[in-house]
């Protein structure tokens, strides 16, 4: 029987080294004495699950190795790796032919003068970040007052929407007082200084629970500050709450119920950044932070009428956040307009030494775009078949009337991107929550139907490593095939909830922004549209383009009536 040994070269033996040596010796022993659990008959049965067929002679020769592998798996399971252990094989969306500007230019934000408090204080809930920043800088309101105002709104409506997991009042008031002290000295760190916000409850903040929205982690406290939280703290923003999320970042159902759509309480807010979208659209806070693996910023923004920016993969370091799919997870702002999203992204984007997939790239936002020279396309295979009065077709007409030349293209739709992405997502998330599955605590989760995580994690244990790596390599081919088409355009217009465009750009890492695209019908949210950035790291262009569209239409200024009183 083959022995497996671990060689570690260090100056001095460490506790970890001694542990590894112990496990190595233990493994060699168990491989020698353990009875064979895998037989030829079991191989024959299992082959059918993997689309394989071997001869009897080949099966016989496999038995010893498969039994040895079984012992390795049992050895690995002994580590019970926690969710925060990173994957050293990180994903890079940059192809060899891509070239980028790497110089960050100063951003000159326009903070309007002469902003007054509204006669109806409730209207303050829907002021833009720039308007709130003006009030704070001109000492018309303090950050402490503004913070208490939004905390009170969250307490008033949070249970109605099921959008708050926990309040962070002590942190908020300390940060608000600090912001007021800077205002008193005439120090302005960013437009976010003194502005309250909420975090999706998968980001660690010292002294708070980080529940992942699910019972098995309901009392989890991680004594770490997530990168995105630290970035916002540097900008002077004020954390007032940890917001609801679909458990383990799927859908809108968590241990507190279903997060509701502020336009229609009979509907959910969709997508796992559910609380971030719902609370922001209802004016319970000025902005929130969400995450996306496959639609979790786009979908709730579309369904709730928010403006959600899903950045290029790696644009915001994920350190201190829950790992789900290591090669797809990304962080972005959910706001009520594009300029607000740009302000937030300017503060949170960047890399750190712990998230090796993160990269600091320029965000040279000006807020301006030349509509006559920008290259815009729309996915005709997804839009031309829609009714003539569809919001998507109205968006194209609005842009054409404003002087934009919009080119019809066939968006790639036959690359099986949905299947590739879901396979990667399943395998990586099952690894991220391996101890949860093997402990049996997955039975405590709320969502137990077949298409949800407990069953997805269990089923993913049978995805072979060979097939997972093959899918990752096919992903690279998809990136190569998509790049020549996508990169011809600055903006590509697609229906927000179209699966293949969403899946493809999750695989390639391209950014997008989702925003309201029409008037809200009675009892429902406004329709939405998504602008994909044809090039990586084009957040400044897509945000400016979305801002221009919003200046033309003002659809983002609609608010759900229930929360304006």
Q: What tens digit of pLDDT does each residue of 154-197 get?
A: 999 999 999 999 999 999 999 999 999 999 999 999 999 999 99
Do 148 and 67 share a domain, yes or no?
A: no
Do 403 and 487 share a domain, yes or no?
A: yes
d(CA 242, CA 164): 6
- Write the pLDDT tens digit of every residue in 333-344: 999 999 999 999
User: Could you list the residue range(s) of the whole structural domain that residue 273 is in?
Assistant: 121-414+471-563
Is the predicted pLDDT of residue 23 greater than 50, yes or no? no
Do 134 and 56 share a domain, yes or no?
A: no
Q: In the prediction, which pLDDT does 27 show?
A: 44
Do 27 and 126 share a domain, yes or no?
A: no
Do 130 and 43 share a domain, yes or no?
A: no
Count CB-CB contacts under 10 A for residue 166.
15
Q: Identify which of 146, 144, 142, 204 has the alpha carbon closest to the alpha carbon of residue 174.
A: 144
Give the list of residues 6+ apart from residue 347 with CB closer than 8 angstroms, or none. Answer: 190, 192, 231, 232, 234, 235, 237
- Write the pLDDT tens digit of every residue in 383-431: 999 999 999 999 999 999 999 999 999 999 877 899 999 999 999 999 9
Q: Is residue 552 part of a domain?
A: yes
Q: Is residue 445 part of a domain?
A: no
272 as an active site residue: the answer is yes
Q: Is residue 289 part of a domain?
A: yes
Q: Is residue 179 part of a domain?
A: yes
200 as an active site residue: the answer is yes
Query: Which of 133, 200, 242, 301 is the catalytic position?
Result: 200
Query: Which of 133, 143, 272, 351 is the catalytic position?
Result: 272
Do 64 and 138 share a domain, yes or no?
A: no
Which pair of structure tokens corresponds to residue 174?
């300390």
Q: Are strands 376-379 and 406-409 parallel, antiparallel or unpaired?
A: parallel
What is the average per-residue pLDDT within 137-143? 98
414 as an active site residue: the answer is no
Q: Is residue 145 part of a domain?
A: yes
Helix (H) or strand (E) holding 492: strand 491-494
Q: How many domains does the chain have?
A: 2
Helix (H) or strand (E) holding 512: strand 512-516
Do 361 and 490 share a domain, yes or no?
A: yes
Is the predicted pLDDT of residue 202 greater than 90, yes or no? yes
Whether 71 and 38 have beta carbons less than 8 Å apart is answered as no
Do 72 and 174 share a domain, yes or no?
A: no
pLDDT band at 36, cuts 50/70/90?
low
Query: Which of 296, 315, 496, 528 is the catalytic position?
Result: 296
Q: In this structure, what CATH number is given to the domain that contains residue 475? A: 3.90.1300.10
């Amino acid at each position: 029987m083959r022995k497996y040994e671990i060689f570690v070269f260090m100056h001095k033996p460490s506790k970890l080294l001694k542990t590894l040596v112990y496990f190595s010796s233990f493994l060699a022993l168990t491989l020698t004495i353990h009875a064979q659990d895998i037989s030829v008959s079991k191989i024959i049965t299992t082959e059918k699950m993997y689309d394989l067929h071997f001869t009897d002679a080949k099966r016989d020769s496999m038995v010893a190795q498969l039994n040895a592998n079984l012992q390795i798996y049992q050895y690995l399971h002994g580590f019970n790796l926690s969710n925060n252990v990173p994957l050293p094989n990180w994903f890079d969306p940059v192809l060899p032919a891509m070239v980028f500007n790497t110089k960050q230019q100063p951003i000159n934000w326009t903070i309007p003068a002469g902003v007054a408090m509204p006669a109806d204080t409730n209207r303050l809930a829907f002021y833009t970040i720039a308007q709130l920043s003006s009030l704070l800088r001109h000492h018309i309101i303090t950050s402490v007052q503004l913070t208490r105002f939004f905390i009170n709104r969250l307490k008033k409506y949070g249970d109605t929407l099921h959008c708050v997991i926990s309040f962070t009042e002590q942190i908020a008031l300390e940060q608000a007082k600090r912001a007021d002290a800077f205002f008193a000295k005439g120090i302005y760190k960013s437009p976010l200084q003194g502005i309250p916000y909420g975090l999706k409850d998968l980001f660690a903040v010292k002294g708070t629970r980080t529940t992942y929205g699910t019972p098995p982690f309901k009392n989890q406290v991680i004594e770490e500050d997530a990168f995105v939280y630290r970035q916002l703290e540097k900008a002077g923003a004020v954390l007032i709450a940890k917001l609801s999320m679909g458990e383990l970042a799927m859908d809108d159902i968590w241990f507190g119920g279903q997060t509701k759509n502020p336009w229609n309480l009979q509907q959910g807010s969709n997508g796992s950044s559910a609380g971030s979208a719902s609370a922001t659209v209802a004016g319970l806070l000025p902005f929130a932070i969400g995450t996306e693996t496959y639609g979790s910023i786009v979908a709730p923004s579309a369904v709730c009428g928010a403006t959600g920016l899903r950045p290029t993969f790696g644009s915001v370091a994920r350190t201190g956040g829950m790992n789900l799919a290591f090669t797809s997870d990304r962080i972005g702002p959910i706001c009520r307009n594009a300029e607000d999203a740009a302000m937030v992204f300017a503060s949170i984007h960047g890399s750190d030494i712990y998230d090796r997939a993160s990269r600091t790239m320029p965000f040279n936002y000006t807020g301006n775009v030349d509509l006559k020279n920008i290259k815009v396309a729309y996915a005709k295979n997804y839009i031309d078949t829609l009714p003539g009065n569809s919001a998507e077709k109205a968006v194209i007409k609005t842009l054409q009337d404003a002087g934009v030349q919009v080119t019809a293209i066939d968006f790639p739709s036959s690359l099986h991107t949905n299947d590739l992405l879901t396979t990667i997502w399943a395998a990586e998330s099952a690894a991220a929550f391996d101890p949860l599955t093997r402990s049996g605590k997955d039975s405590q989760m709320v969502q137990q139907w077949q298409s949800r995580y407990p069953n997805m994690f269990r089923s993913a244990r049978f995805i072979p490593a060979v097939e997972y790596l093959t899918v990752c390599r096919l992903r690279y081919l998809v990136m190569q095939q998509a790049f020549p088409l996508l990169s011809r355009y600055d903006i590509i217009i697609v229906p927000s909830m179209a699966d293949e465009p969403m899946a493809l750009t999750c695989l390639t890492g391209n950014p997008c922004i989702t925003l309201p695209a029409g008037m809200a019908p009675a009892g429902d949210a406004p329709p939405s549209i998504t602008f994909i950035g044809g090039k990586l790291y084009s957040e400044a262009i897509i945000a400016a383009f979305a801002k221009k569209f919003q200046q033309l239409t003002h659809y983002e200024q609609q608010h759900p009536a229930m929360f304006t009183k």
